[in-house]
């Protein structure tokens, strides 16, 4: 599939690096699953893969042989000039002055928990898990996970999310849902005292990583408070064997940290580090109640802290010290958490809350800028998930992108488009979501191979069976 976007504003990383963005105007070309050109272009359709002036551009990159199944001679942006043969686009899209951005990366979620949306609410975390969540999760089947995951993927697409970092049961069914819909999913293990084992996780690691370029798997476990020391040691050995990062829920609540210190004399971060889990990096979800020595461990091990502001507010867990992580040079990413504790999978809400809560916590309205927050939601998430080829819009990167409708009142005037996205953007502005070079959501329509009504019926049937 060859797609040309023209008359577009394009959010790119500034050439000097860092966490800042700039906006260029022109065209973006997609050949197969890869961005092949960003730069100036003509004002309208022209049907051939050549730039407006018919001369080479510094933005062009050669096609690597075998990329995306597209022959090298056909996929080069200058093919029409060098071969003398016309290069036809499968689709040319007039962006109409709208903004193309890298897709959001939802860096922590439990997608299939869509079945518990608005079912188990208004409870503290411990009661919520033990009396509502765990008993109903035990009734889920592999087929349930498949349909519930597709429902979550649909919601991700409406929010401009092009990849998620999932932790749940039946990893192969989660991966199959991603492949069947054309979505990108990274998973980590959900091992605890009640489900799975290190041996099973090793099998899942290989099966999921070999399934598709849209799916991958990283070693992980649920949390210190649900996992015995013996099992955590198994996780550490497996991570070293597979040379994998390790992920877990870390320091989500004050009581979690206090109880861990009572058991082991150290915080969850210090304990997992002492067990040898971070030889190949990794990170933690929530990271609300990290203590002073934990920051040094995060920095030394190159770990990422994933903040989940809406979930932490709803469960009254606290506010992540995002500013401190940033000041220490520690990578930060943003996630929604699951739809049972959030309850929506909306990255616009998360990025606003990440910014606003940092300002309130520090009592400083200038503590973190909008560009830093947007970086966390895109490149920061990609780093956490091992998606280095999906972190920004640039030639040679994967075509995981979103078109933002600027022709909406909340996006006007265009004083600063990054600040508009972070402080006033919403799902209503997501006009198009492309994953791996395929448009799978556009103008309210899903192109995922399923009728939405079928997905809704399947999801409702799951929870009705449990009542």
- Give the full edge-to-edge strand order of the sheet including 161-166: 104-109, 161-166, 184-188, 215-223, 246-250, 282-286, 304-307, 331-334
- Predicted pLDDT at 284: 98
- Predicted pLDDT at 324: 98
Encode pLDDT of 368-389 as tens digits: 999 999 999 999 999 999 999 9
Average pLDDT (442-456) is 98
Q: Is 458 among the domain residues? A: no
The larger pLDDT score, comparing residue 16 to residue 238, is at 238
Task: Tell whether the model's pLDDT for residue 48 goes beyond 80.
Answer: no
- Predicted pLDDT at 82: 40
| Cα–Cα distance for residue pair 313/90, rounded to 1 Å | 45
CATH of the domain at 319: 3.20.20.140
Task: Tell whether the model's pLDDT for residue 65 goes beyond 50.
Answer: no
Alpha carbon separation from 303 to 240, 245, 329, 386 (Å, rounded) = 16, 9, 10, 12
Judgement on whether residues 340 and 203 belong to the same structural domain of the protein: yes
Q: Given the DSSP bridges, would you call strands 430-435 and 438-442 parallel, antiparallel or unpaired?
A: antiparallel
The larger pLDDT score, comparing residue 127 to residue 284, is at 284
Nearest C-alpha neighbor of 306 from the set 280, 273, 341, 282:
282
| Cα–Cα distance for residue pair 191/204, rounded to 1 Å | 12
Encode pLDDT of 150-166 as tens digits: 999 999 999 999 999 99
- Predicted pLDDT at 16: 66
* Class of residue 195 by CB neighbours under 10 A (exposed 0-12, middle 13-18, buried 19+): middle
Task: Tell whether the model's pLDDT for residue 74 goes beyond 50.
Answer: no
> Going by C-beta distance under 8 Å and a sequence separation of 6 or more, which residues neighbour residue 135?
none
Virtual CA dihedral for 248, 254, 259, 265, nearest 10 degrees? Answer: 80
- Predicted pLDDT at 119: 83
User: Which residues lie across from 172 on neighbouring strands?
Assistant: none
- Predicted pLDDT at 227: 98
Size (the chain), residues: 467
Judgement on whether residues 218 and 125 belong to the same structural domain of the protein: yes
Judgement on whether residues 207 and 239 belong to the same structural domain of the protein: yes
Local confidence band at 125 (pLDDT 50, 70, 90 cut-offs): confident
Encode pLDDT of 332-361 as tens digits: 999 999 998 899 999 999 999 999 999 999
- Predicted pLDDT at 18: 57
Contacts from 237-240 at CB under 8 Å and sequence distance 24+?
237/198, 238/198, 238/201, 238/202, 239/277, 239/279, 239/280, 239/282, 240/276, 240/279, 240/280
Q: Is 157 among the domain residues? A: yes
Task: Tell whether the model's pLDDT for residue 169 goes beyond 80.
Answer: yes
In 3-state terms, the chain is what percent helix, strand and coil (to 5)? 40, 20, 35
- Predicted pLDDT at 20: 84
Nearest C-alpha neighbor of 281 from the set 212, 201, 218, 192:
218
Judgement on whether residues 295 and 435 belong to the same structural domain of the protein: no
Judgement on whether residues 373 and 416 belong to the same structural domain of the protein: no
- Predicted pLDDT at 130: 86
Task: Tell whether the model's pLDDT for residue 187 goes beyond 60.
Answer: yes
Local confidence band at 87 (pLDDT 50, 70, 90 cut-offs): low
Local confidence band at 131 (pLDDT 50, 70, 90 cut-offs): confident
Encode pLDDT of 193-212 as tens digits: 998 899 999 999 999 999 99
Task: Tell whether the model's pLDDT for residue 32 goes beyond 60.
Answer: yes
Task: Tell whether the model's pLDDT for residue 60 goes beyond 50.
Answer: no
Provide the mean pLDDT of the chain. Answer: 91
Alpha carbon separation from 376 to 117, 259, 273, 325, 379 (Å, rounded) = 26, 30, 24, 12, 6
- Predicted pLDDT at 128: 79
Encode pLDDT of 99-108 as tens digits: 999 999 999 9
Average pLDDT (63-80) is 42
Average pLDDT (40-50) is 58
- Predicted pLDDT at 19: 57
Task: Tell whether the model's pLDDT for residue 86 goes beyond 70.
Answer: no
**Contact present, 272 and 257 (Cβ < 8 Å):** no
Judgement on whether residues 398 and 374 belong to the same structural domain of the protein: no
State the DSSP H helix or E strand holding residue 381, giving kind and residue range, or none if neither: helix 381-385
**Contact present, 294 and 270 (Cβ < 8 Å):** yes
| Cα–Cα distance for residue pair 207/80, rounded to 1 Å | 41
Nearest C-alpha neighbor of 223 from the set 304, 311, 284:
284
- Predicted pLDDT at 17: 55
Judgement on whether residues 121 and 96 belong to the same structural domain of the protein: no
| Cα–Cα distance for residue pair 148/77, rounded to 1 Å | 40
**Contact present, 83 and 73 (Cβ < 8 Å):** yes
Task: Tell whether the model's pLDDT for residue 141 goes beyond 90.
Answer: yes
Local confidence band at 391 (pLDDT 50, 70, 90 cut-offs): very high
State the DSSP H helix or E strand holding residue 177, giving kind and residue range, or none if neither: helix 171-181
Task: Tell whether the model's pLDDT for residue 43 goes beyond 70.
Answer: no
**Contact present, 120 and 128 (Cβ < 8 Å):** yes
Judgement on whether residues 129 and 47 belong to the same structural domain of the protein: no
What is the span of the domain harbouring residue 408? 2-101+394-446
| Cα–Cα distance for residue pair 181/107, rounded to 1 Å | 19
Judgement on whether residues 295 and 425 belong to the same structural domain of the protein: no
Domain count, the chain: 2
Q: Is 82 among the domain residues? A: yes
CATH of the domain at 25: 2.30.40.10
Q: Is 72 among the domain residues? A: yes
Planar angle of CA 193, 283, 127, nearest 5 degrees: 45
Local confidence band at 72 (pLDDT 50, 70, 90 cut-offs): very low
| Cα–Cα distance for residue pair 87/49, rounded to 1 Å | 5
Average pLDDT (120-141) is 84
- Predicted pLDDT at 129: 80
3-class DSSP string for 343-363: CCCCHHHHHHHHHHHHHHHHC
389, 409, 424 — which closes off a domain? 389
Tokens in use for 17?
A: 């690096």
Task: Tell whether the model's pLDDT for residue 418 goes beyond 90.
Answer: yes
Q: Is 151 among the domain residues? A: yes
Q: Is 454 among the domain residues? A: no
**Contact present, 261 and 226 (Cβ < 8 Å):** no
Judgement on whether residues 207 and 342 belong to the same structural domain of the protein: yes
Q: Is 379 among the domain residues? A: yes
């Amino acid at each position: 599939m060859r797609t040309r976007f023209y008359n577009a504003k394009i959010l790119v990383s500034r050439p000097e690096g860092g966490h800042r963005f700039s906006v260029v105007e022109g065209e973006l070309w997609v050949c197969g699953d890869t961005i092949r050109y960003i730069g100036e272009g003509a004002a309208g359709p022209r049907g051939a893969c050549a730039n407006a002036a018919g001369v080479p551009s510094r933005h062009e990159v050669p096609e690597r042989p075998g990329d995306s199944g597209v022959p090298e001679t056909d996929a080069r942006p200058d093919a029409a000039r060098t071969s003398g043969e016309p290069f036809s686009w499968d689709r040319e899209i007039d962006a109409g002055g709208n903004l193309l951005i890298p897709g959001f990366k939802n860096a922590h979620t439990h997608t299939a928990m869509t079945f518990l949306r608005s079912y188990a609410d208004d409870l503290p975390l411990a009661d919520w898990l033990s009396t509502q969540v765990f008993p109903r999760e035990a009734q889920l089947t592999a087929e349930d996970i498949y349909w519930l995951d597709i429902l979550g993927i649909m919601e991700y697409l409406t929010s401009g999310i092009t990849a998620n970092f999932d932790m749940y049961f039946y990893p192969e069914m989660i991966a199959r849902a991603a492949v069947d819909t054309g979505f990108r999913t990274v998973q980590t293990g959900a091992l605890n005292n009640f489900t799975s084992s290190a041996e099973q996780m090793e099998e899942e690691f290989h099966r999921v990583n070999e399934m598709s370029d849209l799916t991958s798997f990283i070693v992980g476990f649920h949390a210190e408070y649900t996992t015995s020391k013996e099992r955590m040691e198994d996780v550490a050995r497996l991570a070293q064997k597979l040379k994998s990062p390790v992920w877990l829920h870390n320091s989500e609540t004050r009581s979690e940290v206090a109880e861990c210190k009572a058991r082991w004399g150290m915080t969850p971060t210090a304990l997992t580090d002492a067990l040898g889990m971070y030889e190949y990096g990794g990170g933690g979800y929530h990271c609300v109640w990290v203590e002073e020595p934990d920051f040094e461990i995060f920095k030394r091990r190159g770990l990422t802290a994933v903040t989940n502001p809406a979930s932490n507010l709803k469960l009254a867990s606290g506010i992540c010290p995002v500013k401190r992580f940033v000041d220490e040079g520690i990578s930060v990413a943003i996630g929604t958490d699951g739809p049972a504790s959030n309850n929506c999978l909306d990255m616009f809400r998360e990025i606003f809350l990440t910014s606003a809560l940092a300002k309130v916590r520090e009592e400083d309205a200038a503590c973190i800028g909008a560009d830093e927050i947007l970086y966390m939601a895109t490149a920061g998430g990609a780093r956490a998930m091992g998606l280095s080829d999906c972190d920004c819009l640039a030639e040679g990167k994967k075509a995981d992108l979103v078109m933002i409708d600027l022709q909406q009142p909340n996006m006007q005037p265009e004083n600063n488009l990054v600040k508009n996205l972070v402080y006033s953007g919403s799902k209503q502005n997501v006009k198009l979501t492309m994953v791996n070079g395929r448009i799978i959501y556009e103008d309210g329509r899903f192109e995922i191979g399923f009728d939405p009504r079928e997905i809704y019926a399947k999801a409702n049937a799951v929870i009705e069976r449990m009542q």
